[in-house]
Amino acid sequence: MGLLAFLKTQFVVHLLIGFVFVVSGLIINSIQLCTLVLWPVNKQLYRRLNCRLAYSLWSQLVMLLEWWSRTECTLFTDQATVGHFGKEHVVIILNHNFEIDFLCGWTMCERFGVLGSSKVLAKRELLYVPLIGWTWYFLEIVFCKRKWEEDREAVIKGLRRLADYPEYVWFLLYCEGTRFTEKKHRVSMEVAASKGLPVLKYHLLPRTKGFTTAVQCLRGTVAAVYDVTLNFRGNKNPSLLGILYGKKYEADMCVRRFPLEEIPLDEKEAAQWLHKLYQEKDALQEMYNQKGVFPGEQFKPARRPWTLLNFLFWATLLLSPLFSFVLGVFASGSPLLILTFLGFVGAASFGVRRLIGVTEIEKGSSYGNQEFKKKE
């Protein structure tokens, strides 16, 4: 085992990475708070600044995937589709089966220059998660309670605000509403059978209202829908904790582009289009499980150095004073000061672990276990 491989397994290194992410995130959130004064004066300047501030935080996670674990991401698509990447507003539909599916989406956003302006329809509980939810708030992310009667007006208002966004937006939708688990899948397929819909093997029944509303509200702004089907070679089930330990994974993403004009205007017809899309996604996953590849040409977009340089900037800025402080604490010889510092380290470790826990499937929401039994 080389020195770098050894360091990747050490808890103290993980703690230092977590320290850089958390403290830099709090600094970024503080700067974002100060930018609010720009909103009534120059809304577009406010948005551009916050895109770059968000990039400085999110790119640290992308750095872990690209440079720390050296995970490979391969696209299966065509040259014409690749030619559109980063040059248009789009809605992205991604399967929600893995703990790091969002991170694979972000690395593609980063490689095509839209990480800072990427958006998502997020559950409202995330608004109160430090760093993640706070950064999203300043980015005008659309939050929902996942109760359509209560969400409708807020979602429509949030989506329409994006019409004049100054940066290209990739708007991510997890149409399944929650991460795939066997229990949720069983309940979901019971609902599918009751509605006369085809059974899906690898996906939950898509919830159509968020999709149809997004398409209706963003017509004239969004140029296309990108359907992205993600899987990992070797039947791997990666985790953010695995990434932190430097485990390398190989992600494959099948990307299909559908011009928005191909999606029906009528809400019921658009919902049927989405159900058909998920049947196709299921067939793609079946093909991948049998052959180990998706259809289409293979592309490996080159990783850019900016995520690594951004992390090194924050690490240099924050770790130097930290090391000086730690040396001062132990040099003081004060048992109270040393114990207080160790207590802080323990609390910080717990906090970082809780942030990682947000991505874990077994700690995901119970949404979907019973909600599929209700009408959308």
CATH code of the domain containing 241: 3.40.1130
Q: 2 lies in a domain? A: no
Average pLDDT over residues 222-232: 97
d(CA 227, CA 148): 23
d(CA 319, CA 242): 24
d(CA 194, CA 307): 47
d(CA 44, CA 89): 16
- % pLDDT > 90, the chain: 66
Q: Is 7 helix (H, G, I), strand (E, B) or coil?
A: helix
The pTM of this model reads 0.89
25 and 152, same domain (yes or no): yes
- What pLDDT is stored for residue 376 in this prediction? 43
pLDDT by residue (tens digit) across 337-372? 888 877 777 776 776 666 665 555 555 555 555 554
258 and 334, same domain (yes or no): no
Q: 182 lies in a domain? A: yes
- What pLDDT is stored for residue 126 in this prediction? 85
d(CA 174, CA 172): 7
- What pLDDT is stored for residue 137 in this prediction? 94
Q: Measured on CA atoms in the order 134, 136, 140, 141, is the torsion positive or negative?
A: negative
- Domain containing residue 339: 321-362
d(CA 221, CA 90): 8
At 123, the pLDDT band (50, 70, 90 cuts) reads confident
pLDDT by residue (tens digit) across 159-173? 999 999 999 999 999
Q: 160 lies in a domain? A: yes
At 375, the pLDDT band (50, 70, 90 cuts) reads very low
At 134, which amino acid appears? W
178 and 295, same domain (yes or no): yes
Q: 315 lies in a domain? A: no
Element (H, E) at 103: helix 101-111
294 and 329, same domain (yes or no): no
Closest C-alpha among 299, 282, 362, 241 to residue 78:
299
- % pLDDT > 70, the chain: 92
Q: 34 lies in a domain? A: yes
Q: 375 lies in a domain? A: no
Give backbone dihedrals phi and psi of 86, rounded to 5 degrees, phi first.
Answer: 75, 10
pLDDT by residue (tens digit) across 273-307? 999 999 999 999 999 999 999 999 999 999 999 99
d(CA 232, CA 347): 34
Element (H, E) at 81: helix 79-82
- What pLDDT is stored for residue 355 in this prediction? 62
Contact 54, 25 (CB under 8 A): no
Inter-axis angle of helices 306-332 and 335-357, nearest 10: 150
336 and 283, same domain (yes or no): no
208 and 329, same domain (yes or no): no
> DSSP characters for 277-327?
HHHHHHHHHHHHHHHSS-SSEEE-PPPPTHHHHHHHHHHHHHHHHHHHHHH
Q: 309 lies in a domain? A: no
Q: Is the pLDDT of residue 105 over 90?
A: yes
Q: 62 lies in a domain? A: yes
346 and 214, same domain (yes or no): no
242 and 358, same domain (yes or no): no
Across the chain, mean pLDDT equals: 89
Domain final residue, candidates 247, 264, 299: 299
216 and 349, same domain (yes or no): no
196 and 102, same domain (yes or no): yes
d(CA 185, CA 197): 14
Q: Per the structure, how many domains does the chain have?
A: 2
- What pLDDT is stored for residue 1 in this prediction? 62
